[in-house]
Chain A
Amino acid sequence: GAGVSQSPRYKVAKRGQDVALRCDPISGHVSLFWYQQALGQGPEFLTYFQNEAQLDKSGLPSDRFFAERPEGSVSTLKIQRTQQEDSAVYLCASSLRVGGRAGIDTQYFGPGTRLTVL
């Protein structure tokens, strides 16, 4: 079956522009994660959805970052008034169930969207 897909794969924005990044998780997956990966670094957690509910947004770096998953499948990460420090690869991951100490589930990652802010 299809894996996690993300679009666009590359996005160049001028400083101050708004961008929207899309994630299509694996069909039927309950959990959806967004991570930010700076060059030469590991992924950093941004936010988590369980179905349509955003249960953890503690990793969002500022109120310019907003994520939604209105129907419990596709998710969009929106960044308003982009800044140069927002340049990074944005990764989306999904898993079939709810993970954590209550249970362990593999996260499947998409290819990421590389955002460059000029």
Chain B
Amino acid sequence: SQKIEQNSEALNIQEGKTATLTCNYTNYSPAYLQWYRQDPGRGPVFLLLIRENEKEKRKERLKVTFDTTLKQSLFHITASQPADSATYLCALGGSTLGRLYFGRGTQLTVWP
């Protein structure tokens, strides 16, 4: 069965620095990969999607890369702010009917 690993359970960085989160997967060939943000007591919120034939996507301070050879995605938040503190989930997609396979998430804390 597919396995998804996010680099660490927690990441702490200083405000203004770039946060880099890693998502590795095995036993699956996703058609696309998504990143979600989840705050305590709330459902995940979609951030970015990258397709299997794309190398990089950007949205404001966010950047996602996707390497299907390494089976890895990197998620970057530049000029991080305390408001970016949350859990970030990667999700693999492309199976029939659109079900997603989620990693366990990385809890990011940005301190002033």
Contacts and interface: CB of A to CB of B under 8 A. Distances in A.
B98 A48 contact: yes
Interface centre among B9, B95, B97, B100 (most CB of A within 10 A): B97
B102 A101 contact: no
Contacts of A95: 98
A93 B101 contact: no
Given A104-B32, A104-B51, A43 B98 contact: no
Nearest to A56: B97
A106 B97 contact: no
A105 B46 CA distance: 11
Interface in A97-118: 98-101, 104-112
Contacts of B32: 104
A45 B99 contact: yes
Contacts of B105: 41-42
Contact of A101 (B4, B31, B100, B104): B31
Interface residues of A, number: 31
A104 B43 contact: no
B97 A98 contact: yes
A21 B92 CA distance: 26
Given A31-B98, A55-B97, A109 B43 contact: yes
Contact of A100 (B49, B94, B101): B94
Nearest to A110: B43
Contacts of B98: 31, 33, 48, 95, 98-100, 104-105, 107
Contacts of B100: 33, 43, 45, 107
A48 B99 CA distance: 8
A91 interface: yes
Contacts of A93: 43
Interface centre among A43, A93, A105 (most CB of B within 10 A): A43
Interface of B: 4, 9, 31-32, 41-46, 49, 51, 89, 91, 93-105
Interface of A: 4, 31, 33, 35, 40-45, 48, 50, 55-56, 59, 91, 93, 95, 98-101, 104-112
